[in-house]
Amino acid sequence: MTNDQPLETSGTSSAGLPGVIMAEDQQRSDYVFRPVSVPKGYPELKYKPIMLSFRCMLCVLTFYLIVLGLLITLIFVHNVSFSSQYGYFTIRILPPIIGTITASLWRTIVLTVSRIEPFIASASDDPTVYNWQNSAHRTILAEYFPVPEIFNMIRNRNGLLTFTYILWVLSNAVLAFKAVLLNTTNYDDYWEAAVTFWALYALISIYFLLIVGLVALMWHLRAVTTGLLWDPVSIADHLVLFHHSNFLAKFDGTGAISRDSLHERFRRNDFRLKYWDRGSLGIWHGFGVIEHDLHGSVQRNAPGPAPAPISTASEPNPADSAQSRLSALKAESSNAGTTATLSMQEVSKASYRSCYYNMERSMMVIWTTVALVLFCLLLAAAITNMASGIDVSLPYGVTLFLFQFLPAFVVGLYTWFWEDADVFCRATQPFIGMRDNPKPATENILLDYTCLPPGIATYTAFTNKHWKVARVSAISLLQRLLPIIIPGMVTVVDGKDHRTVYVSIPLLIVSLIYLGSYIILIPFEVCQNGLKRHLPRNYSAIADLISWCYASSLLRSDAFELSWRKRNDAPGYVYERWQMEAALRLKHHSYQFGVYKSQLNPGTHCIGFDEANQVDAVDLPDKRSLRRRRRRASHGRESQMKWEMSKLTWLDASKERATDPTTTQLQFRMPRRSSPQSSPGFEGRSQVLSLIVLSTTLS
């Protein structure tokens, strides 16, 4: 498919135009879909990742309590004496090591609880946790994965997650305070250490808050229902939860719309993660939606089947006839399918639109510049022979802040950058595995890099020959040493009328190697295959995955049609991950990201991923070609096509506004004209018109 070939793409709705075809099981006259409590013999939906288990969190709590106890002990002593030659290690190296362990443990807990929280909210019936009026915002639209978004937590009024995120930021400051906690009174022997009390009190406060936050998390997770049977770590683990969902038609046209429009479309949808009774089709576990009216009551005439009260019975609800449910589904499908004819160049621009903020070129320049400045400062320290010590007349506290706290804090920010780069590479690797060429499931939808520990992720990526993931994961792991080396490099001795600053030459050389390599590695890692890792939207919510495959044949594959089976060594039924993984492997299918043929709206295409035989690849956008198209006069086939069908605004995130899919009101952006009678300035801007009736626009 060439860049000049037009493409019909599914968009927002207009009554009377081609509609969405319902799923095969939804067309059955005996169709039932309602939530039920855990049926007899079926497993409880209470799976929690290992890091959130009570024993693991208790071990972390014990570690924090021991450190807090040692810090409180230092209040009662001003100087600590050592009787061994390892005084330097204890004074300058050990505190940053403890700080690094503290920050790493808390980061792991925050990331794990954040990615599980949307599932907890979907599975909970507790009104203090779950509110149907903001269901989508706290469930499938919550931007908590792979890195939580603080402003989204605040908008969702999730106080506990907001508190843990703030503590995550404070835990990174632990390294800087540890850097100034202990210094020596004699640089020659390191037999006696002096305590810095303002850093000590700050550390005591931070550890106290970490303990409070950890206890709050343990209480929150003590008997919580997560709605999960296993840890959803791969794309396939998420898709199996949407295989029979009753709301996939609602996602029509969401592949490239902005996140604000996605929130607007689903803001009053009640998403639940439960067992669902499907009548003669059996019990299914996954996501479903329950419709409510404005007063919070369940709508009996809402699109899709109306749920019965929670029960374990499997008989259909007599209050709702099969015919009325089928009519409601048909009414919904008639409102879901207008199309816009778009060129492949426009689709390409929409497909490669977003990436993480730290992976932008502007941030690359900032991080590289800071590394260059730090490199020059350390080089100046080596040239001026600071190993022999330099005297400064600044106050002791100011000297500690400038020569120990500030450098440790700045290099600690690079830990944040490399961790963000690591998460970005891990999260986008499955899509890279579908961008260039079709590849099997093990190269994309079955990858689980996002939840692997750093060292294991590096080894796994190396064995899979995913060199960028292996490289960035290794750098992220090695970066944790830099906030230990920099504080250990500088020692401040307090004299009577001056302060003396010493620098360790071996540690200085190691720091120069680190920063010098960053000056090269940061631009390389940001630019190398950078555009190929861009997506229509940042992958940060469960809904993003569904918007890219809701109409695909992959989501309807029988590989996700797992059956409950009896186990010989245990009572009841089991439903295990290996069944799904084995089925996908045995399919021997390849998958690709591009524009795929819609299974809901035949004859149209959607942006996303599917089985390779259903997908047309989308080339990288050509900026020079885009500039030529802007200068081109409005004549010829492409320009005529734009005037006939116009262009839906979902391809322009900066201009796009939400439209109501249940009405005929659509927002279009008209093309520029080259007529000499055009008003001044018309050539340089897009004119956005709101057209109430589509037929009037086309005429």
Assess whether pLDDT exceeds 60 at residue 684: no
Report pLDDT digits (tens) over 238-253. 999 999 898 898 888 8
**Residue 689 has what pLDDT?**
31
| CA angle, 296 then 334 then 537, to 5° | 75
Assess whether pLDDT exceeds 50 at residue 131: yes
**Residue 265 has what pLDDT?**
87
Torsion angles phi and psi, residue 133, rounded to 5: -70, -25
Would you say 577 and 562 are in contact if contact means Cβ atoms under 8 Å apart? no
Question: How confident is residue 447, by pLDDT bands cut at 50, 70 and 90?
Answer: very high
pTM reported for the whole predicted model:
0.77
Query: Which CA distances in Å does 653 have to 68, 92, 260, 353, 584?
Result: 48, 50, 9, 9, 35
Rounded CA separation 9/22 (Å): 19
Report pLDDT digits (tens) over 515-547. 999 999 999 999 887 788 888 888 989 999 999
Which contiguous run of DSSP H or E holds residue 192?
Answer: strand 192-195
Assess whether pLDDT exceeds 70 at residue 599: yes
Report pLDDT digits (tens) over 420-444. 999 999 999 999 989 878 999 999 9
Burial 296-314 (b: 16+ CB within 10 A, else e): eeeebebbbbbbbeeeeee
Residue type, 285: H
Would you say 106 and 167 are in contact if contact means Cβ atoms under 8 Å apart? yes
Question: How confident is residue 356, by pLDDT bands cut at 50, 70 and 90?
Answer: confident
Assess whether pLDDT exceeds 80 at residue 15: no
**Of all residues in the chain, what percent carry a pLDDT higher than 90?**
30
Report pLDDT digits (tens) over 81-95. 766 666 767 777 888
Which contiguous run of DSSP H or E holds residue 280?
Answer: none
Residue 102: burial class (beta carbons within 10 Å; 0-12, 13-18, 19+): buried
Report pLDDT digits (tens) over 264-286. 888 778 899 999 988 878 888 89
Assess whether pLDDT exceeds 50 at residue 480: yes
Rounded CA separation 474/183 (Å): 32
Query: For 235-360, where are the alpha helices, taking DSSP H only?
Result: 235-239, 259-266, 322-333, 344-351
Rounded CA separation 39/263 (Å): 33
Rounded CA separation 510/448 (Å): 34
Side by side, the strands of the sheet bearing 79-81 are 79-81, 192-195, 182-184
Question: How confident is residue 302, by pLDDT bands cut at 50, 70 and 90?
Answer: very low
Between 476 and 15, name the one with better pLDDT: 476
Which range, of 48-52, 212-216, 297-301, 442-446, averages the lowest pLDDT? Answer: 297-301
**Residue 396 has what pLDDT?**
86
Assess whether pLDDT exceeds 80 at residue 687: no
Structure tokens at 61: 């709590």
Q: What is the mean pLDDT of the chain?
A: 75
Question: How confident is residue 511, by pLDDT bands cut at 50, 70 and 90?
Answer: very high
Which range, of 52-61, 138-147, 640-649, averages the lowest pLDDT? Answer: 640-649
Rounded CA separation 260/77 (Å): 56
Residue type, 89: F
Which contiguous run of DSSP H or E holds residue 392?
Answer: strand 390-392
